[in-house]
Structure 1
Amino acid sequence: MKRLEPPGSGAEDHCLQQTPDLTALIAPEAEALGFDLVRVKLFGGKGDLTLQVMAERPDTRQLTINDCAELSRRISDMLDQLEAEGRDPITEEYRLEVSSPGIDRPLTRLQDFIDWNGHEARIALASPIDGRKVLTGLLKGVEGDTITIYVATKGEMEVPFAQVGNAKLVLTNALIAATRPLSMDGVEDEEIEDEPADSAAEEEMK
Structure 2
Amino acid sequence: MTQRGRATRSAGPTGRPRRADGPRGAERVGAPRGDLAARRARLRAVIEPVVAAAGYDLEDVAVSRAGRRHVVRVIVDADGGIGLDAVAEVSRAVSAALDAAEESSGDILAGEYQLEVSSPGVDRPLTLPRHWRRNVGRLVKVTARGDGQAGQPAGDRQVTGRVVEADDERVVLEAESGRAEFRHAELGPGRVQVEFHRLDEIADDEFGDTEDTDDIDDEDDVEDEER
* TM category, shorter: 0.5 to 0.7
Preserved CA contact (<8 Å) 2:141 2:193: yes
Unaligned runs of 5+ in 1: 190-206
Counterpart among 134, 137, 141 of residue 118 in structure 1 = 137
| Larger CA Rg, structure 1 vs 2 | 2
Q: Does 1:137 align with 2:157?
A: no
1:172 alignment counterpart: 195
Counterpart among 18, 29, 48 of residue 50 in structure 2 = 29
Could you say what the CA RMSD is over the residues aligned between the two structures, in angstroms? Answer: 4.8
Q: Does 1:70 align with 2:94?
A: no
TM-score by length of 2: 0.51
Distance 1:58 1:51, change over 3 A: same
Return the structure number with greater strand share.
Answer: 1
Counterpart among 47, 56, 59 of residue 39 in structure 1 = 59
Distance 1:104 1:8, change over 3 A: closer
The separation in 1 between residues aligned to 2:158 and 2:63, in whole angstroms, is: 22
Preserved CA contact (<8 Å) 1:15 1:41: no
The separation in 2 between residues aligned to 1:135 and 1:50, in whole angstroms, is: 36
| Post-superposition offset of 1:109 | 3.8
Q: Which amino acid aligns with 2:162?
A: L
Preserved CA contact (<8 Å) 2:62 2:73: yes
Q: Percent identity?
A: 22
The separation in 2 between residues aligned to 1:23 and 1:133, in whole angstroms, is: 35
2:104 alignment counterpart: 85
| Post-superposition offset of 1:98 | 0.6
Q: Deviations over 1:143-200 (max 9, x none)?
A: 6533344565897362425964x444222257657xx45x4234259xxxxxxxxxxx
2:75 alignment counterpart: 54
Preserved CA contact (<8 Å) 2:138 2:192: yes
| Post-superposition offset of 1:57 | 6.4
Preserved CA contact (<8 Å) 1:22 1:40: no
Unaligned runs of 5+ in 2: 1-10, 12-17, 21-26, 147-153, 210-227
The separation in 1 between residues aligned to 2:191 and 2:35, in whole angstroms, is: 21
| Post-superposition offset of 1:58 | 5.0
| Pairing of 1:8-23 with structure 2 (within 5 A) | 8=30, 12=33
| Post-superposition offset of 1:55 | 2.8
The separation in 2 between residues aligned to 1:140 and 1:124, in whole angstroms, is: 17
The separation in 2 between residues aligned to 1:157 and 1:113, in whole angstroms, is: 13
TM-score by length of 1: 0.54
